Amino acid sequence: MKKRKLGNSNLSVSEIGLGTMGMSFAYGPAPDKKEMVKVLQEAVEMGEYFFDTAEVYGPFANEELLGEALAPYRDKVTIATKCGIKMNDGKQVVDGRPEEILKSVEGSLKRLSVDAIDLYYLHRVDPNVPIEEVALTMQKLKKEGKIKNWGLSEASVQTIRKAHAIEPLAAVESEYSLWTREPEKELIPTLEELGIGFVPFSPLGKGFLTGTINKETSFSEGDGRNSLPRFQKEAMEANMKLIEIIRKIAEEKNATPAQIALAWLLAQKPWIVPIPGTTKFSRIKENIGAAEILFSKQELKEINAATDGIQIVGNRYTPELAKRAGL
């Protein structure tokens, strides 16, 4: 697979990465660890070299999984992980205090079995901690050689600017896809201006853009989609209009809906690197195939014209989760 450079940083990664959260967390019962080790190693053999995890996935279990699975390929792969969300009495709590970041990085280094973290994100902005303090903490970690690059996840453009002015960001992570277009208004122009890479998570709309989910779909107990507004039956039924358009394009391109959704993202900017998540090697192979699909300028105009008129129904987060985004 070809590589892409994340903004003005020296960090080059495979043009499609792998979000690994679902291998340990968030979508119902965690899959068998041995099977996930095998899937991760098969992904590397297929040419996927960019892996995304976080301290809170599990918590801790996902970093341990990657540490074990990717150890034989450490010289080939780039691993991104995140700090700033803790589990407290079974609930996620945002905590971006410098002393907590310094504790977190030590745990992540150990679990990932690495000497330095390639890309270290603040998972969510803590409203009680000035972002300047976080940037100085990340600067300290870079000087100490514990992290190589740093980034922010789900941050506002004002926060991004303040942080970048102190210690340049390699990447910003946020949701972006054919059914989440908000980053086009302010975020993407800001990242382009500042020379920061963009790593869209949920580029397949948590599975919806694959065309395999409809209003009759039943998610397992513990699957976070059960509570999300966009995954309620009425919203999914309304949003099928978008899937119909994607399916039509997929037929014309002899591709799958998932490949079209990813190829569209890749066509937006050369410094955008989506990280679709899956637990199945067949899906990884399918997703990697999206890199071979190219759109002409006219085709992109037609896709945008067809999708711009669709009003997506349902918020992407619950009110509680929405409070943590865009700070």
Over pLDDT 90: what percentage of the chain?
Answer: 98
CA–CA dist 275, 259 (Å, integer)? 13
Catalytic residue among 57, 120, 121, 176: 57
Could you tell me which residues come within 8 angstroms of residue 273 by beta carbon, excluding any fewer than 6 positions away?
4, 6, 13, 14, 15, 16, 17, 50, 171, 197, 198, 199, 200
pLDDT at 122: 98
Strand runs labelled E in the chain? 3-5, 12-14, 18-19, 50-52, 78-83, 85-88, 91-94, 119-122, 150-153, 171-175, 197-201
> How high is the mean pLDDT of the chain?
97
Sign of the C-alpha dihedral computed for residues 274, 179, 232 and 211 taken in this order: negative
**Structural domains in the chain?**
3-207+269-294 (3.20.20.100)
pLDDT at 90: 86
Q: Is the pLDDT of residue 3 over 90?
A: yes
Structure tokens at 87: 């589990």
CB atoms within 10 A of CB 97: 15
Structure tokens at 171: 């990447």
- Residues 142-173 pLDDT 10s: 999 999 999 999 999 999 999 999 999 999 99
pLDDT at 309: 86
Mean pLDDT value of segment 119-140: 98
- Please choose, from the candidates 152, 176, 175, 153, the residue with its C-alpha nearest in 3D space to the C-alpha of residue 165: 152
* Strand duo 18-19 + 91-94: pairing: unpaired
Mean pLDDT value of segment 192-202: 98
CA–CA dist 113, 285 (Å, integer)? 27
First to last CA, the chain: 35
Confidence of residue 97 (pLDDT cuts 50, 70, 90): very high
57 assigned to active site: yes
Q: Is the pLDDT of residue 79 over 90?
A: yes
Confidence of residue 19 (pLDDT cuts 50, 70, 90): very high
- Residues 38-67 pLDDT 10s: 999 999 999 999 999 999 999 999 999 999
Over pLDDT 70: what percentage of the chain?
Answer: 100
Structure tokens at 196: 């920061």
Strand runs labelled E in 11-90? 12-14, 18-19, 50-52, 78-83, 85-88
- Residues 255-286 pLDDT 10s: 999 999 999 999 999 999 999 999 999 999 99
- Please choose, from the candidates 94, 92, 121, the residue with its C-alpha nearest in 3D space to the C-alpha of residue 105: 121
Classify 280 in phi/psi space as left (phi over 0), alpha (psi -120 to 50) or beta. beta
Structure tokens at 27: 């979508």
